[in-house]
């Protein structure tokens, strides 16, 4: 039986995966081969050293603050940017410019932004806050302009007949209609930013990641463990709270 076009696609994809693994020298069994090494590290990680708890509390608060400030700034900026990028609200040339800006902001992950921003604003949480803000602005802006563009056309037609301006359309139709999605999205982005903020310290942009990399590089796995545990607890907690709140928003 001749394979279908769909089956050909899967065969080609499988060949590309195998080819890439060979190219990179990737061996999935290596994780089993290094089992002894892994179990030593796990044992050392499980020997929690709680003498660093004051730093754990300080750094987790810093991480949460970075996520809150960064995601809030990014989200607030994403609203006007998305309005300017939406084709049903803005003229074509303005929307093209803002789509480009949001695309650039979104395509660079926060860690890459942090590497650049540490050079510009120096080590510490300020670089981390900007990294989160830029990325969230891009991500949220892209999502928002797609929501704006998929809105109820009849309301826009009515506004055109009335002779409303673009600003009036944005205030009375575009933003109110998107409000439930926007609140939902903000909560999701906040929880996502906590996760992202926890690794920015790896490059010196503030937050709990700095202590993790410091203790791991000094081979003090027992001291790194409470920080890793704190990230797990906080991110799972944020996820739980954000999901609960978003469900409430949907039902209201």
Partner 1 sequence: MSDVLSMNQIQLIINDRKIINNLSINVRQNNAVTIMGPNGAGKTTLLKIALGLVQPTSGELYLFGKKGIDKERRKLLGYIPQNLGLVNELSVFSNVIIGALGEIPRWRSILGMYPKDILDEVYSLLYELKISHLKDIKVKKLSGGEKQRVAIARTLIQKPSVIFADEMIASLDFKAAASVMEIFTEIRKKKGITLLMTHHNPEITKMYSDTVFIMINGRIDKKIESKEINKETISSLYEA
Of 2-10, 39-47, 164-172, 198-206, the window that binds partner 1 (rule: CB under 8 A) is: 164-172
x/- map, 96-135, partner 1, by CB under 8 A: ----------------------------------------
| Residues contacting partner 1: total by CB under 8 A | 22
Of 57-65, 81-89, 158-166, 213-221, the window that binds partner 1 (rule: CB under 8 A) is: 158-166
CA triplet 20, 23, 28: central angle to 5 degrees?
A: 70
Contact status: 162 vs partner 1 (CB under 8 A)? yes
* DSSP code at position 201: G
Distance CA 111, CA 203 (A): 8
Distance CA 23, CA 190 (A): 38
Contact status: 9 vs partner 1 (CB under 8 A)? no
Number of H helices, E strands in the chain: 12, 0
Q: CB of residue 251 vs partner 1: minimum separation in angstroms?
A: 13
Q: Which of 168, 233, 240, 247 binds partner 1 (CB under 8 A)?
A: 168
- For residues 119 and 162, which CB has a smaller minimum distance to partner 1 in the complex? 162
Q: Show Cβ contacts of residue 148 under 8 Å, excluding neighbours closer than 6 positions.
A: 82, 83, 86, 88, 89, 174, 178
Q: CB of residue 2 vs partner 1: minimum separation in angstroms?
A: 37
* DSSP code at position 151: S
Contact status: 248 vs partner 1 (CB under 8 A)? no
- For residues 35 and 161, which CB has a smaller minimum distance to partner 1 in the complex? 161
- For residues 178 and 231, which CB has a smaller minimum distance to partner 1 in the complex? 178
Q: Show Cβ contacts of residue 1 under 8 Å, excluding neighbours closer than 6 positions.
A: none
Distance CA 45, CA 167 (A): 56
Q: Which of 42, 107, 171, 244 binds partner 1 (CB under 8 A)?
A: 171
CA-to-CA separations, 9 to 1, 3, 5, 6, 166, in angstroms, rounded: 16, 10, 6, 5, 46
Longest dimension (CA), the chain: 74
- For residues 136 and 182, which CB has a smaller minimum distance to partner 1 in the complex? 182
Of 88-96, 102-110, 176-184, 223-231, the window that binds partner 1 (rule: CB under 8 A) is: 176-184
Contact residues toward partner 1 (CB under 8 A) are 152, 154-165, 167-168, 171-173, 176-177, 179-180
């Amino acid at each position: 039986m001749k394979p279908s076009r769909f089956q050909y696609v899967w065969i080609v994809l499988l060949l590309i995966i195998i080819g890439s693994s060979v190219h990179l020298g990737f061996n999935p069994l290596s994780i089993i081969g290094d089992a002894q090494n892994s179990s030593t590290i796990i044992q050392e990680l499980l020997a929690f050293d709680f003498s660093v708890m004051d730093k754990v509390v300080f750094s987790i608060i810093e991480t949460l603050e970075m996520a809150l400030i960064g995601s809030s700034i990014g989200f607030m900026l994403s609203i006007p940017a998305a309005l300017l990028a939406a084709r049903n609200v803005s003229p074509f040339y303005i929307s093209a410019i803002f789509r480009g800006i949001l695309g650039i902001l979104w395509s660079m992950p926060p860690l890459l932004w942090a590497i650049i921003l540490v050079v510009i604003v120096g080590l510490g949480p300020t670089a981390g806050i900007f990294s989160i803000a830029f990325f969230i602005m891009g991500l949220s802006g892209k999502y928002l302009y797609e929501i704006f563009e998929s809105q109820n056309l009849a309301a826009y037609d009515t506004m055109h007949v009335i002779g409303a301006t673009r600003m009036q359309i944005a205030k009375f139709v575009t933003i109110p209609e998107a409000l439930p999605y926007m609140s939902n999205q903000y909560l999701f982005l906040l929880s996502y930013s906590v996760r992202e903020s926890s690794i920015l310290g790896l490059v010196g942009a503030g937050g709990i990641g700095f202590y993790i990399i410091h203790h791991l590089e000094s081979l003090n796995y027992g001291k790194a463990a409470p920080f890793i545990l704190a990230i797990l607890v906080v991110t799972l907690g944020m996820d739980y709270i954000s999901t609960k709140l978003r469900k409430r928003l949907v039902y209201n």
